[in-house]
Amino acid sequence: MRTSATSPLHHDPNQNHLLAALPPSEFEALAGDLELVQMRLGDMLYEPGRQLSHAYFPTTSIVSLHYVMASGATAESAGVGNEGVVGVALFMGGNTTPSSAVVQTAGYAYRMDARALKHGFARGGFLQALLLRYTQALMTQMAQIAACTRHHSVEQQLCRWLLMTLDRLPGNELVMTQELVAGMLGVRREGITEAAGKLQKAGLIEYRRGHIMVLDRGGLEKHACECYAVVSNELTRLLADVQLRRRVS
């Protein structure tokens, strides 16, 4: 297993749920192709229409998949953290994607060369089934976010986004400016300021200098629309019977 960045203590591939779910024999077949890489905030992993050269299995980082309009406006279509993989187009046969992939939360990931991933997927077995299940969960997330953006308030969208981000982090604090959140949700910064202000007044979050601290997760869930539960439940349904095949450290 290669390392291209200084490894944080106790860091290993099992921190990614997909890699952790692989049977030992299939994991060992892939281990030599996994490369630990540092993911810096704002790093562009993919650009629209460009050939994908690697897949990324995040461990402590979060990657945002989003579209950029001709006007320059952006909106997130999905997020990927330690529950998944960035680069499903590689094993689905597309090799390119019209969306961008940008690091939303800095951390680490395990990178795999496109050929290695395709070869592992083509062998079939548990890896193939696992990646297809995850792809279905990712499609659910994309569809639900599209519906959420169309039908729910900015405050509800912010609650959903905060909860989905928290699920991928070990703590309850997010390093994120209101401007970046606005870009993720595809709304005006003023809308995020107003929504965050309401949540802070209700005692659910605390916001200061690019840091968002969630104080009451239960209250946040009550304020969120049904979209968070739909996405979370579908991921759990599809992967619940495989996540314990390897222990997540």
- Report d(CA 249, CA 245) in Å as an integer: 13
Please tell me the total number of residues recorded for the chain in this structure. 249
Q: pLDDT by residue (tens digit) across 65-86?
A: 987 777 777 778 899 999 999 9
Fold of 2-123: Jelly Rolls (2.60.120)
The number of angstroms, rounded, from the C-alpha of 124 to the middle of its chain's C-alpha atoms is 25
The two domains 2-123 and 153-224 share their CATH topology (first three levels equal): no
Parse the chain into domains and list their residue ranges. Answer: 2-123, 153-224
DSSP, residue by residue, 85-138: -B-HHHHHT----SSEEEEEE-EEEEEEEHHHHHHHHHT-HHHHHHHHHHHHHH
Q: Predicted confidence band at 215 (pLDDT cuts at 50, 70, 90)?
A: very high
pTM of the model: 0.88
Helix ranges (H only) for the chain are: 17-21, 24-31, 88-92, 114-122, 125-151, 154-166, 178-185, 189-201, 217-223, 227-239
Domain 153-224 classification at class level: mainly alpha
Q: pLDDT by residue (tens digit) across 179-198?
A: 888 877 878 889 988 999 99
